[in-house]
Amino acid sequence: MANDIKLISGTSHPDLAQEIADCLGLSLTQSEMVRFGNENILFQCNENVRESDVFVIQTSCPPVSDGILELLIMIDALKHASARRITAVMPYFPYARSDKKDRPRISITARLIADLLETAGADRVLTMNLHSPQVQGFFRIPVDQLDATPLVCDHLLDAMPLENTVLVAGDVGEAKDLEHYAHRLNLPMAIIDKRRHDDSEQAVAVGLIGDVDGRDTLIVDDEIASGGTLIAAADYLQSQGAKRIEAAAMHPVMSGNAKAKLDGSPIGRVVVTNSIPIPAERRSSKVEVVSIAGLLANAIGAIHSGSSVSALFR
Ligand code: R5P
């Protein structure tokens, strides 16, 4: 039927795709992804999508490069199957940290991904909590960026007493996002001065703007990759007299030995979203996961009906 919604999942996060479909009361469109012996990928959509409003759900998680290529192949296939509009639903945007030319002769890879998505035939992008909002400007097509801060804050309010808490940005770059938490939770802020000296993912906390002595603390960051930033911040806060140390982050990349680092750290709990699946072997018992499926489903519904997506944040 023309103009109906089709939800199609890539292989990166089928559980989230199913949850979104459940929230919308829809079934996922039947499709298949074949990997040949030569590592080439074949995607086939097994239902008619002619004139449909198609949402392709593919987050970024290992194997990252395969996930990107899968998404491009899916979009290309759907374009040639005469979909009316194709929205790439990318809860965690790949290469979001490669958003600037901060040293000579490197690629601004987030912009390259934007170009590739447009070339493949994406008409829109729906994403969430970008590492830096300017990534939206890399596109000529519309990009809706969702903010899961309210969901995470609601979880924090239910899960723990926050009266004596100071919110702590894991680094200066996170200070802007911290404002959203501070506004919503009505709590004071502090900022860690974090330095990285090379690409070894070794983060060093060298200072703190604010006072945490005798206070509970909640470290906020946009993502946990190697866990270096979080653990450096937690150790530093402990050295400055912080009592309880908790953390919240949007995207649980959990690469390398992040789980072991978290398990051995003074952090009590870490609240994250399910923008990225966490395999059992990388999942610390300290991690609490808040689902973004409802938020994404509402945004998909709003895009389909042409109503305001920003109204979802109010
Ligand atoms: C950096 O600018 C980000 O906001 C995060 O602090 C960073 O991506 C976390 O990475 P890791 O866990 O490897 O320290």
Whole-angstrom distance, CA of residue 282 vs CA of residue 140: 37
**Cβ atoms of residues 239 and 213 within 8 Å:** no
Q: Beta-strand (E) ranges in 115-269?
A: 124-128, 143-146, 165-169, 189-196, 203-209, 216-224, 245-252
Q: Whose CA is nearest to atom 5 of ligand 1?
A: 223
**Cβ atoms of residues 26 and 57 within 8 Å:** no
| Annotation says 194 is catalytic | yes
The number of CA neighbours under 13 Å toward the Cβ of 139 is 23
Whole-angstrom distance, CA of residue 265 vs CA of residue 278: 19
Q: Whose CA is nearest to atom 10 of ligand 1?
A: 225
Whole-angstrom distance, CA of residue 66 vs CA of residue 145: 23
175: CA distance to ligand 1 center in Å? 13
pTM summary value: 0.95
223: CA distance to ligand 1 center in Å? 6
Q: Taking the mean position of all CA atoms in its chain, how far away is CA 300?
A: 17
Check residue 274 and give its pLDDT.
Answer: 98
Check residue 312 and give its pLDDT.
Answer: 80
Check residue 2 and give its pLDDT.
Answer: 57
Q: Of 3.40.50.450, 3.50.50.60, 3.40.1160.10, 3.40.50.2020, which CATH number belongs to 5-147+293-312?
A: 3.40.50.2020
* Bridge partners for 33 per DSSP: 43
Of the residues 6, 79, 176, 194, only one is catalytic, namely 194
Q: Ligand 1 test: best mutation among 192, 229, 250, 276, most atoms within 8 Å of CB? A: 229
Whole-angstrom distance, CA of residue 114 vs CA of residue 59: 14
Whole-angstrom distance, CA of residue 199 vs CA of residue 203: 10
Whole-angstrom distance, CA of residue 142 vs CA of residue 148: 19
Does residue 226 have its Cβ closer than 6 Å to ligand 1?
A: yes
Does residue 203 have its Cβ closer than 6 Å to ligand 1?
A: yes
Burial of 62 (0-12, 13-18, 19+ CB in 10 A): middle
Q: Whose CA is nearest to atom 13 of ligand 1?
A: 226
Does residue 98 have its Cβ closer than 6 Å to ligand 1?
A: no
Q: Whose CA is nearest to atom 2 of ligand 1?
A: 173
Q: Enumerate the CATH 3.40.50.2020 domain ranges in the chain, comma separated.
A: 5-147+293-312, 149-290
Straight-line distance from the first to the last Cα atom of the chain, in angstroms, rounded to the nearest whole number: 33
Whole-angstrom distance, CA of residue 285 vs CA of residue 298: 30
Whole-angstrom distance, CA of residue 291 vs CA of residue 294: 7
Does residue 177 have its Cβ closer than 6 Å to ligand 1?
A: no
The tokens of 14 are what? Answer: 């089928």
- The pLDDT tens digits along the chain (314 residues) read 556 999 999 999 999 999 999 999 999 999 999 999 999 999 999 999 999 999 999 999 999 999 999 999 999 999 999 999 999 999 999 999 999 999 999 999 999 999 999 999 999 999 999 999 899 999 999 999 999 999 999 999 999 999 999 999 998 889 988 999 999 999 999 999 988 777 666 788 999 999 999 999 999 999 999 999 999 999 999 999 999 999 999 999 999 999 999 999 999 999 999 999 999 999 999 999 999 999 999 999 999 999 999 888 76
The tokens of 116 are what? Answer: 């590739």
Q: Of 3.30.70.20, 1.20.950.20, 3.90.340.10, 3.40.50.2020, which CATH number belongs to 149-290?
A: 3.40.50.2020
